[in-house]
Amino acid sequence: MNKPDYPLEGLRVLDLSRVLAGPYVGRMLCDLGAEVVKIEPPEGDVTRNWGKVVAGLSGYYTQQNVGKHDICIDLRKPGGPALVKQLAAKADVLIENFRPGVMAQYGLSYDALAAANSRLIMLSISGFGQSGPESQRPAYASVLHAESGIVARQAATDGTPPVDPRVSIADMNAALHGTVGVLSALHLRQRTGLGQHIDIGMLDTMIATDDYAHMALDGVPNPHGIVNDVWEVVGGHIVVSGDFRWVWRQLNELCGLADPTPAGAPLKEKIATRRKAVAQYLRSFGQRSALYAALDKANLAWGNVLSSEQAMQSETLAARESLVEIDDRDGGKRRVVRSPYRFSAAQSGVRGLAPHRGEHNREVMQRWLGLAADEIAALIGNGVLLSDERA
């Protein structure tokens, strides 16, 4: 029996993006079967220096770019933009996350590229969108975390000074919404035969993906809503999910936790007394297994507070083969996270190694554009195509 196909097999993608939001779109499309060619500038993607570096490949860069092919084009050299335009004429999708207007400065606006390839779908990711009063502002995830309200809301909820979360929520939101946009445009192209330009603003994606946005729209002040409490228990901490009133009722009715609240106590005292009783109850278990059994009896959802390193040891991740080993290109192996898609009749997952800068210059020029060896040599000689020594 033949292996099932990858859903996006045969799709050609040019990835001109850097860091995270754009590269993650390319990584997901690659895992789903697309041929993704990353186009790097001469200085390379800045993330090549982030994390543990093995054989010139950092962990961060590897995670976002594994499986892609890589070419390096200097857009500042005569012939550089023209070469990108030639490649775009052969592509189905182009991803970029420059500041709005930069692509146009090189003659690579959507209109210019679509003139040669009307089927091209171009995804542009920026902080504040391609148009509007703030479109030219530089934006990283932390900027959008601050300006979308989540930093202030978390500080108000916790009663602590504002702190940026240690995960690039804005980049990942933009990447996932961008991926949905690309797949939708591909579906529409099947009916119309035409591509289009997709404008993804990170601020838009933060607001659209904020399940507390309705409170701000309705004028409900922070902090409101359900707070999932973290409790100190034997062996560390645990999260018990749900509003405290629900947690209390379940423990009281199903686990026999007595209510120590004095008769006639005001609401504030009642809440404080019950919270103290729950904290003492959860700390009373000498083994976590006994605690788990009690929480399960109370029909409460709970989660262990783990470090990232501990989380990677999850038996669920192991069973679902969510972490895969690839060649580290230095005689060993390194692990990367597999994309989360599991199909009943299709394949997905890591399809190659992380590329060096310019590693596939010759291959892509020959296969995509049909250039002869002397033409490729001229591009290299003129400084349009570059590569690392390792490539």
Residue environment code for 112-146, b if the CB has 16+ CB neighbours within 10 A, otherwise e = ebbeebebbbbbbbbbbbbeeeebeeebebebbbe
State both tokens at 116.
Answer: 């040669």
218 part of the active site: no
* Distance, CA of 350 to CA of 38 (rounded, Å): 16
Name the active-site residue from 70, 74, 171, 199.
171
State both tokens at 188.
Answer: 């529409």
Catalytic positions, written as ranges: 171
